[in-house]
Amino acid sequence: MRPTTFYNFFNPEAPPQIVNIRTDHGGLQLRDLMRQWPVKKVLTSRDIHYSQVVMPRDQVEDYILPQLLPNEQNSVNRGEQLPITVRDLDTLTEYRLCLWENGSSYVLTSGWSSSFVRRRALEIGEEVGFCWDPRLRLLRFSVLSRPPVSPPRE
């Protein structure tokens, strides 16, 4: 439990109260509020070693493209790179990447390696999630699971 100050904004004359917030398992994370990550991806060697992440075509077409403006959809469908903002919900940082169609899949490029792979130390086998935020017009990103670390051999 972590003591946290609670202010009652409905009654400004009420004194602040100290409330204990449960912090087991790291407490409630912002990414947990999303509840659903419609585009999920287990990272492969291609996603880690090249400067792009390949996203599942059907998931992008079902959950991201319909949220884009018509001219943005047309741009992506013509094979052009569409600059979009990607917000990392784990670190609350934003980056400009490009979304484009690459034949049988969709790809995020232009900074994937430097903005995410190196900075977040992403590895093969980790699962990441993407979700389009129509209100902010950006793509949300989070690392959903990391493989357990095996203890060093003696």
C-alpha–C-alpha distance, residues 31 and 28, integer Å? 8
Name the strand (E) or helix (H) holding 14. Answer: none
Q: What is the CA radius of gyration of the chain?
A: 19
Number of folded domains in the chain? 1
Is residue 74 assigned to a domain? yes
In three-state form (DSSP H/G/I as H, E/B as E, the rest C), the secondary structure along 117-136 is HHHHCCCCCCEEEEEEECCC
Is residue 19 assigned to a domain? no
Lowest mean pLDDT among 5-14, 28-37, 69-78, 92-101: 28-37
- One-letter amino acid for residue 23 of the chain: T
Average pLDDT over all residues of the chain = 83
| Helix, strand, or coil (residue 35) | coil
Is residue 104 assigned to a domain? yes
Is residue 56 assigned to a domain? yes
Q: Which residue has the tokens 């880690």?
A: 48
Q: State both tokens at 154.
A: 């003696």
What does the DSSP 8-state code read for residue 149? P
| Helix, strand, or coil (residue 21) | strand
10-58 confidence digits (pLDDT tens): 787 888 888 776 555 444 444 444 457 999 999 999 999 988 999 989 9
Is residue 55 assigned to a domain? yes
Phi-psi region of 103 (alpha: psi -120 to 50; beta: other; left: phi over 0): left
C-alpha–C-alpha distance, residues 93 and 138, integer Å? 12
Is residue 101 assigned to a domain? yes
Query: Which residues span the domain enclosing 131?
Result: 30-145
Is residue 5 assigned to a domain? no
Is residue 22 assigned to a domain? no
With a pLDDT cut of 90, the percent of the chain lying above it is 45
Report the CATH number that the domain containing residue 65 is assigned in CATH: 2.40.330.10
